[in-house]
Amino acid sequence: MCELLGMSANTPTDIVFSFSGLMQRGGKTGPHSDGWGIAFYEGKGVREFRDPNPSCDSEIADLVCRYPIKSTIVISHIRQANAGRIALENTHPFTRELWGKYWTFAHNGQLKGIKKSPLQHYFPVGTTDSEYAFCRIMDQLRERFPKPPKRVSTLQRFIWKLCDELRELGVFNMLLTDSRYLYCYCSTRLTWITRRAPFDQASLKDADITVDFARETTVNDIVTIVATAPLTIDEDWHPLQPGEMVVFDNGELTKPLMNRIKKDLCKKSE
């Protein structure tokens, strides 16, 4: 399967450390050699890089590692093709506009029968079930909310509902953002970690790289990294449960969804 990488931070931060580990899984330490992509938000704009070649030996990926682009929201993806040929148009992440914002999406999994769902406003350019699912989500958001809902929690709950429905078609691990909130939905496997003061050092699993975050950050920095599997060997990552969604805002978990998660956990323990 593919692998996902996301970042939410309260101050513009580069993702070079985490991306350096992920890119090794794209054909070197992992089988995900069918393309990769990454999207950085700069205000309302998106800076994107995609390549249908393996990330482990991609000159474009090397450029991203050498050029520390700073952002508060990042979504990245390395692909192991199972639906749709290896091609640039089938390379994640995908981007569409809604309510004057660029939305970006990346998916890990397969969705049987997704292309039977009708589309009204958004249509895929490539042939993946992932891009079709993204168009389906955007269609339903536009139909349900012609204008952005006043309460953020209303939107978050609706997106969670859409993810639950897509999960019924197969495996649906995904990252989604509207330039501010990072939505993370788990179908089978997704993990996250939040780094804040006091910062410590960390070492990558897939590359001989160690970083002392205390030297690279300030005491006010909050940075959350989301990945399919933990990227470091000396940190405690938090696995999401199947059917669980979390949303990060400036590196922090949003409270409305945390309250729902706590209620769901209580019900499961009864």
Ranges of each domain in the chain: 3-107+174-269
Two structure tokens written together for 258 = 């945390």
Give 116-152 pLDDT, tens digit per residue: 999 999 999 999 999 999 999 999 999 999 999 999 9
Q: Which residues contact 79 (CB under 8 A, 6 or more apart)?
A: 2, 32, 34, 35, 36, 86, 90, 91, 92
**Alpha-carbon distance 2 to 15, whole Å?**
19
Please give the CATH number for the structural domain made up of 3-107+174-269.
3.60.20.10
Q: Residue 224: what pLDDT?
A: 97
Q: What is the pLDDT of residues 181-224, one digit of tens each?
A: 999 999 999 999 999 989 889 998 878 889 888 888 889 999 99
Paired with 175 in beta bridges are: 106, 184
Containing 107, the helix (H) or strand (E) segment is strand 101-108
Q: For residue 79, give the 3-state DSSP assignment.
A: coil
Side-chain half-sphere exposure of 102, counting CA atoms within 13 A = 18
Please list the active-site residues.
2
What DSSP line would sit under 120-165, residue for residue? SS---SS--HHHHHHHHHHHHHHHH-SS--S-HHHHHHHHHHHHHH
List of the chain residues with pLDDT < 70? 1, 26-27, 30-33, 80-81, 83-84, 255-270
What is the reported pLDDT for 98?
98
- Whole-number Å distance between alpha carbons of 243 and 212: 34
- Residue 262 is predicted with a pLDDT of 46
